[in-house]
Amino acid sequence: MSEEKVKEKIKTISDLPGIGDGSAEKLIGAGYKTVESIAVASPMELIEAAGLGEITASKAIRAARDSLEMGYETASKLAERRKLVGKITSGSKELDALIDGGFETQSISEVYGKFASGKTQLCFQLAVTTQLPKEKGGLGGNVLWIDSENSFRPERVISVAKRYKLDPEKVMKNVFVARAFNSDHQMILAEKAGDLIKEKNIKLIIVDSLTAQFRAEFIGRGQLAGRQQKLNKHMHTLMRLGEMNNIAVFVTNQVMSRPDILFGDPTAPIGGEIVAHNSKTRLYLRKAKGEKRVAKLVDSPSLPDGECVFTVTQNGIEDA
C-alpha cells in the first residue's frame, strides 16, 4: 500500500494495524484516544494499556507516525509552530521579564523552593491570570489543578480575582480541582486530563506538588529506581498534554538539603535528572524579608540565568 493510501486510511486508532475493537476500547479507556496519542507513545505503554504484543504495538506506533509525517522538518517550520506559543502573566512585571513574558504553553514550567517560598501562591495567581484575555496576559481559558498536598484554598483565588476586577464566582467555576491521594491516583488524574482539555477549554494544568506523594511512598535508596521510573512516566504524560494541546503545564516541587555541599546553597529539588530534563523552565524560589521573594531562573532552553524580586500579598503576586 502506498504512503498516500496509508495516510488516507488511518483516521482513528481502530484503523491502525493489529488494533481491533477490543484493543481500541482498552486504549481509549487508558487515554489513548487519537492517532497522535499512539504516535507519541512507546511500545511498552501500549502493552501495559491494552495487553498488545510487542510487535503489534510497534507496528501500530510506526503506522501512526507514518500517517502523521512524524519525521524531520525544517527549522522554519518549527519557528512557525513556536508562534502559536501562548504566555501567562505571573502578575509581576519583573518576574515576567525574567522568563521572557510569562509562563509558556507547549512545555512544563517548574518552580521549587522551601516551605513558604511562594510556590503555591504562584499557582493561585496563574489559576486566575490564565482566564484573562490574551491582550491582558492570559489565555482566555480554564484551569485543571491536581492537588497532592491539600493546599488548594478557594479564598486565595477569590482575592486574586478581585484584584483583576473579575467575578470571583465565575473564576472559581473555571478552576477544576482534584485531590490526589497517592502517586498512582495522581498519575491517573494526569492521564484523564486529556479528556477534559477540549471539553472544558483548559489552557493550564497545575500540579501542586509534583513530588510530594512519590517522596512519601518511595522511601530509601532501594526504592529510588522505582520512584524515578514512575515519575518519569508521569512527567512524559504531562509533557505530551502540553505539547499536543498547546497548553501550559505548571508544577511545583519540594526540596531537600544536601549535606555533601559545603559551600553555597545546599538546597536541591526532589526528582533529580528526571524532573530536570522534562521541565523546560525551572525557577528556584526563596524567601527574603517580609513579603518579598527571590526567583532565580535556573534553566531555560533559550534564556540566560537571572534573578528578580517579587512580593506575595493579599492580591497575589506583585512587583516588590
At which of 17, 33, 67 does a domain end?
67
Residue 4 exposed, middle or buried by CB count within 10 Å (0-12, 13-18, 19+): exposed
Q: Is 50 helix (H, G, I), strand (E, B) or coil?
A: helix
Residues 53 and 126 in one domain: no
Indicate whether 50 and 161 sit together in one domain: no
Residues 62 and 105 in one domain: no
Is residue 6 within 8 A of residue 67, CB to CB? The reply is yes
- Looking at the structure, tell me whether residues 179 and 56 fall in a common domain: no
Residue 166 shares a structural domain with residue 311:
yes
Domain of 260, CATH number, reads 3.40.50.300
Residues 55 and 141 in one domain: no
Residue 140 lies in a domain: yes
CATH code of 31's domain: 1.10.150.20
Which of 133, 130, 170 minimizes the C-alpha distance to 250? Answer: 130
Residues 63 and 85 reside in one and the same domain:
no
Q: Nearest 5°: phi and psi at 52?
A: -75, 155
Sign of the dihedral through C-alpha 6, 9, 11, 12: negative
Q: Give the residue from 43, 67, 91 where a domain finishes.
A: 67
**Cβ distance 129 to 138 under 8 Å?**
yes
Cα torsion through 86, 91, 92, 96, rounded to 10: -10
Reading the chain (320 residues) residue by residue, the pLDDT tens digits are 444 444 557 889 999 999 999 999 999 888 888 898 899 888 998 998 899 999 999 999 999 998 887 778 899 988 888 899 999 999 999 999 999 999 999 999 999 999 999 999 999 999 999 999 999 999 999 999 999 999 999 999 999 999 999 999 999 999 999 999 999 999 999 999 988 999 999 999 999 999 999 999 998 878 888 889 999 999 999 999 999 899 999 999 999 877 666 666 778 899 989 999 999 999 999 999 999 999 999 999 999 999 999 999 999 999 99
Task: Indicate whether 155 and 242 sit together in one domain.
Answer: yes
The reply to whether 31 and 141 lie within a common domain is no
Q: State the residue range of the domain holding 18.
A: 3-67
Same domain, 130 and 40: no
Instruction: Please tell me the pTM assigned to this model.
Output: 0.85
Residue 291 lies in a domain: yes
Dihedral angle of Cα 82, 84, 85, 88, to the nearest 10 degrees? 160
Establish if 139 belongs to a structural domain.
yes
Sequence-ordered strand ranges (E) for the chain: 87-88, 103-104, 107-113, 142-147, 175-179, 202-208, 248-253, 255-257, 267-269, 281-287, 292-299, 306-313, 316-319
99 assigned to some structural domain: yes
**Which residues on adjacent β-strands are paired with residue 145?**
177, 206
End-to-end C-alpha distance for the chain, whole angstroms: 64
Query: Is residue 104 one of the residues assigned to a domain?
Result: yes
Assess whether 59 and 100 both reside in one domain.
no
Provide the residue type at 175 as one letter.
V
The total number of structural domains that make up the chain? 2
Distance CA 148, CA 195 (A): 20
SS3 265: coil
Q: 44, 67, 90: which is the final residue of a domain?
A: 67
